[in-house]
Amino acid sequence: MGPLLLLSLQANSCAPRRAVETFLLRDHFALTQDLPYGSGVRQRLDVYQPRRAPGVAPVIVFLYGGRWQHGSKEEYRLIGDAITRRGVVAVVPDYRLYPQVRFPAWVDDAARAVRWVQDNIEEYGGDPGRIVVVGHSAGGHTVALLALNPDHLRQAGVPDGTIRGFVSLAGPVATVWTDPDVQALMGPREGWLATYPLEQVTGSGPPLLLLHGGRDKTVSPENGVRLAARIRERGGCARAITYKGLDHVGIVVALALDRLNIAPILEAVLRFARSPASYACGRASF
């Protein structure tokens, strides 16, 4: 659940990351930074708008990982680059982190960011009727909770059915908290049930796609498989895909550097976004 690494460089190592960005980033998108979706310092988001998208474009909201303690939207410009290359608007929000806050602050922030997107994205060429929320690692955990517990989005003013679908990359979505720092940030033990996506399944949520690397030693790929199975058992729509050659970081690197053809992560996300219900009702391994 650590921060994004690109080409085996730590994402929070500014000089190497910026060197990679300088080499790879192009001018096919317009970037609008630090738009507020709340009053807090970390309640800001960046919008990446493809310059040549015909008409209004689909929208992907990306929630990064970082063990609920680290991360910055500035570290994910290659995600925005990859998504806009496909003619899709990308939105990358920051959110509040531990130890300044505990659960469910970052989930509430994600819901508020989604509300901002719903209300404002047309100004940036995006279609508010075609929003998909994607998250990696800790962000994937948040995505699963947004998908499975509608109260988070309802409290932010997002009507049921507004979001077409949700995608969790390497999310800890079917586990229990054993590490002391994670136990602390998830709040009192008696409230942990609300932090477990596996316990929120009713079968009535929106389509959920769960992507995982088969070599992931940080979050077991069984997380996605177990959650998808429970959702389907209860009549819902979910699909788990395991990519055998990827680890915890590799899956988001493959997304960010889609042009290198490491693994078809972005392709899976875009296929899901085009038709969430039909794509999500199945299981595959690559």
pLDDT per position as a tens digit, 34-76:
999 999 999 999 999 999 877 899 999 999 999 999 999 999 9
pLDDT per position as a tens digit, 220-239:
999 999 999 999 999 999 99
pLDDT score for 25: 77
| Cα 130 from Cα 112, distance rounded (Å) | 17
DSSP code per residue over 97-139:
-TTT--TTHHHHHHHHHHHHHHHHGGGGTEEEEEEEEEEETHH
Is the model's pLDDT at 7 over the cut of 50? no
Top CATH class of 5-285 equals: alpha beta
What's the mean pLDDT in 13-23? 56
Is the model's pLDDT at 150 over the cut of 90? yes
pLDDT score for 1: 39
pLDDT score for 11: 43
SS3 assignment, position 10? strand
Is the model's pLDDT at 261 over the cut of 80? yes
Residue with tokens 């806009």: 84
Is the model's pLDDT at 103 over the cut of 90? yes
Q: Which two tokens stand for residue 253?
A: 């690197």
Measured from the Cβ of residue 8, the count of other Cβ atoms closer than 10 Å reads 8
pLDDT band at residue 27, thresholds of 50, 70 and 90?
confident
| Cα 180 from Cα 56, distance rounded (Å) | 46
The single-letter code of the amino acid at 57 is A
pLDDT score for 22: 58
What's the mean pLDDT in 188-202? 97
What's the mean pLDDT in 125-143? 97
pLDDT score for 10: 37
Mean pLDDT of the chain: 92
Is the model's pLDDT at 8 over the cut of 80? no
Q: Name the strands in the sheet holding 44-50, side by side, starting at the edge strand that comes first in the sequence.
A: 29-36, 44-50, 89-93, 57-63, 126-136, 165-169, 208-213, 238-243, 282-285
Domains of the chain, by residue range, sit at: 5-285
pLDDT score for 71: 97
Is the model's pLDDT at 192 over the cut of 60? yes
CA 187 to chain centre: 22
